[in-house]
Amino acid sequence: MTFEIRERDLLGRIGKLKTKSGTVETPALLPVLNPAIQPVAPERIRREFGFEAVITNAYILKQNFQNRPVEEGIHKFLNFNGVIMTDSGAYQTLVYGDVATNAEEIVRYQEQIDTDVATILDIPTGWKVTEENAERTVKETLKRARELFKLRTKDDILWVGPVQGGKYLNLVAKSAQQLNRLPFQINALGSPTEVMERYRFDVLADMIMTAKLNLGSEKPLHLFGAGHPFMFALAVALGCDLFDSAAYALYAREDRYMTENGTYRLHELTNFPCSCPRCCSSTPKQALELQQNQRTIFLAEHNLYASSAEIKRVKQAIRDGRLWEHLEMRAHSHPALLQAVKTLAKHKEFIEKHSPATKKSGLFFFNSISLMRPEVVHYRRMIQQRYTQPEGTTTLLLFPQTRTKPFHRSQEYRRIARALKKPSLAERESHTCFYAAPFGVIPIELDEVYPLSQHEIVLPLDEETIAYVADRIVDYINRKSYKKVILVRDEATWNKTVEARCKKACAKRRISFKSFNLKKTLS
């Protein structure tokens, strides 16, 4: 086994990827090394910045350094005593249209330099291509993927099989299905760079999810070129375990300063919003006064620190069971990221299926976006498929949620329950349930089950959340056999939507319906 999963949240997982040169904890960012113009020495990237693995381009090494990497070995040549992954020149194919090598030659070269993780010379799909041309890139990439296993001569290199198809999701699905039949140790999503450059994170999310739906879950997934900290949470939540980027260096050359919420130009800053060693020892004004090469090194080092810090936050969020909260927080840093999160509604059942049912901490719900959380989707499915109303009950008593949890221990509930025992309101064979955001109907016997009482939600509720709860009440009534429904309405928290839809559902099924005002009932 080369990949062992230790912890999960959403589709994100903390895992151990074993290679001949060491073990990498995922999710992991692999900084791109370019030996010709490397602003931060490779040995420092591991020793000072904590990156266990890096990536370099085998094609560039072959063209610029000839036999030196072969004679010395890639680890000695780069002076990096960790895990090294090599790309094959596919990105150069995308940029320049062709490369001065072929699939067999680049496989041989990666074996000769003794890399840890290697990539076949795939054909990137690109953004501005027709579906016909995109299909050709998929077919050629799959052809080269199959040929690898006839060409390779070493068993100690992990090989990466890239999924192609770009924005054409039917081709992404086809590519992933066929690639999944081949014995690659790592899968990858190719062609995301141009999508990300256009801030089409919604398209990227669809590409990743389509690949995940058609690939086996036992292998790590690499996302090429996804190196800005503000999108790490999205990539990991969608199931990406590895990603690489040269952005830390490329941005530094343009005086661009990375943060977990976006990018600043150095001249825009009065103070550094960071406490890394570089930012603590300087000011933006002082950094601007440095010579260009020194300024580039300064910013590249900061960008590495910023990237490393965000990776650590994402890992801690997985361990705490709070990756969704972290994802929502990051998504609000840019509309394009928030739009991508909203597209996850299409995949919420798949995410729920692969996300833990219980966690060691309570949940935070901020707005209607949280309605697609795995916990909400899971509860909705369980209440529909596995819950049966208590035998002999004919009356449904619906009480509103309270700030106290579990709800049946609140003073409001106890007072309402006593009031409803008055002769004029008394009901026999009744069943008590609560209606609460974001879960909908909560039978009193489930009131303490996780996470129905282990969560916090923002009040007042937004219209979408209220409508969702109303829909869940209607669905519950339609699936059960009550003869009467009594609704205690809380007009301070809920608008008239819940009462109106509940009343309409009862009328349609010819069920008796009554409602009482919470304040009047308590007075």
**Residues with active-site annotation:** 87
SS3 199: coil
- Distance in angstroms (rounded) separating the CA atoms of residues 29 and 223: 10
Peptide bond just before 69 cis, omega within 30 deg? no
- Distance in angstroms (rounded) separating the CA atoms of residues 427 and 484: 10
Peptide bond just before 183 cis, omega within 30 deg? no
SS3 158: strand
Q: Residue 105 is which amino acid?
A: E
294: closest CA among 325, 259, 324, 252? Answer: 252
Contact 409, 498 (CB under 8 A): no
H or E element: which one contains 396?
Answer: strand 395-400
Contact 374, 33 (CB under 8 A): no
Contact 52, 28 (CB under 8 A): yes
| Cα R_g (the chain), whole angstroms | 28
- Distance in angstroms (rounded) separating the CA atoms of residues 14 and 26: 5
Sign of the Cα torsion 469, 470, 472, 477 reads positive
Give the CA-trace dihedral at 210, 212, 214, 216, to 10 degrees. Answer: 180
3-state secondary structure 47-83: HCCCCCEEEEEHHHHHHHHCCHHHHHCHHHHHCCCCE
Q: 38 phi and psi, to 5 degrees?
A: -100, 110
Give the CA-trace dihedral at 340, 345, 351, 353, to 10 degrees. Answer: 180
